[in-house]
Amino acid sequence: MFILFFLFLFHFFVGQLIEITKNKFLGYSSNIILLAVVMYLTLGIQDTADMEMYEYFYDSDWEAIDPMFLALREIFTSMKLEFYSFYQFHLIVYTLTYFFLISRYTKNIFYVFLVFFILYYVPYVNQFRYYLAFPFYLLSVHYFIVNRKMIYFILFTFLSLTSHSAILLLYAFIPAYYYFSTKHYFRMLMIGAGLLFVLMAVLFQAGVLQQIEHFGEYFGKGMVSSFVGGVYNMIPYIIYLGYLAIIDRNFRLRNGNADQDRIYVYLRKFSFFSIIFIPASIYVQVFGHRYVFPFIIIWMIYFLYMIKDLSPRMKFFKFLYISLIHLLVAFFFYVLPNYILGESHFEEELIRSLKSIPYIDHGFWKIK
């Protein structure tokens, strides 16, 4: 817990300093250092919960998997490269893609990406197919709605869907963005969330979803939550979105013409779009892991956008409050399960991955 506290204290001060001073050198150097640290803590990984499975898929010419995996495997095996090079390639590509995406909105990549990396390190290094697809998805939506460049939209949509077809559900945001006005948007999200929850429950009980490629694995026994476990997993999502709703209300009070700000409207709708998957995540935990929490990338961009015109004093308190939320969520993920269940899956998998990196001095880091 001390390490988490130190990391978020560091994140709080440096991220805030970059935002307040607008110092380009500080911003660029912090981003480069963070990139180096991310690569250091990922590229040497030799063992994760999913590593053995994907290595088997790579070595055995497994065909029942996404086209991007198959195409890249063909390229890497033709060059006589082992699975670890294939795995490292994914990590490099999607890390750089996240950095590029964030840079479209803010130069404070350090603040946006670090919290995501700390809180979601375990899925980030395990589920490399999905985390290749997700930033491509974010870029495709960005180019369709914000930049209105259809060629880039088509390109990144293709890359996203061929990397992981389950990302298809998230493309419901595009019609939702255009067809529901800001006034009715949240009401429709709530209705959609309730309908999706009922639909998922009915289709699961009927055994339909288990038969659909890529979605069937989401509805296996290990992916279905108990009600209590589902509510526990849902709490961090509600905390973040609740705080963003408070800041959003204050932003709209300060800016009477907020609905004329196209970037603001886009970030607002995109951030809260993930609400539609939260009730279903009570029943099927992977909905939260895949379709809700990765949006923290957008949530933090949205947060920075709404506080950009505040005074340094007010920014300090906004950063302080959300940093406390970061720390609380980290506690939920890594620490509290030890007291409730006697074990913490996130902590165990974090340690497992870090211990597999051969060049880390485990004695120095005291990784148990």
What pLDDT digit, counting tens, does each position of 199-245 carry? 877 766 665 554 454 444 544 444 445 566 677 788 999 999 999 99
Least confident span in 63-67, 130-134, 141-145, 200-204 = 200-204
pLDDT for residue 100 is more than 50: yes
pLDDT of amino acid 345: 85
* Helical ranges in the chain per DSSP H: 2-21, 24-40, 51-59, 67-78, 83-103, 109-119, 121-126, 128-141, 150-163, 173-179, 182-205, 227-254, 262-273, 278-283, 285-291, 296-307, 312-330, 336-340, 345-355, 362-365
In this prediction, residues 66-89 reach a mean pLDDT of: 94
139: number of Cβ within 10 Å: 23
Report the distance separating Cα 244 and Cα 88, nearest Å: 34
Cα 236 to the center of its chain, rounded Å: 13
Q: pTM score, two decimals?
A: 0.91
* pLDDT tens figures, 13-39: 888 888 888 778 888 999 999 999 999
* pLDDT tens figures, 268-307: 999 999 999 998 887 777 788 889 999 999 999 999 999 9
Residue 243 structure tokens: 């705080």
Residue 131 and residue 38 in contact, taking contact as beta carbons nearer than 8 Å: no
pLDDT for residue 173 is more than 80: yes
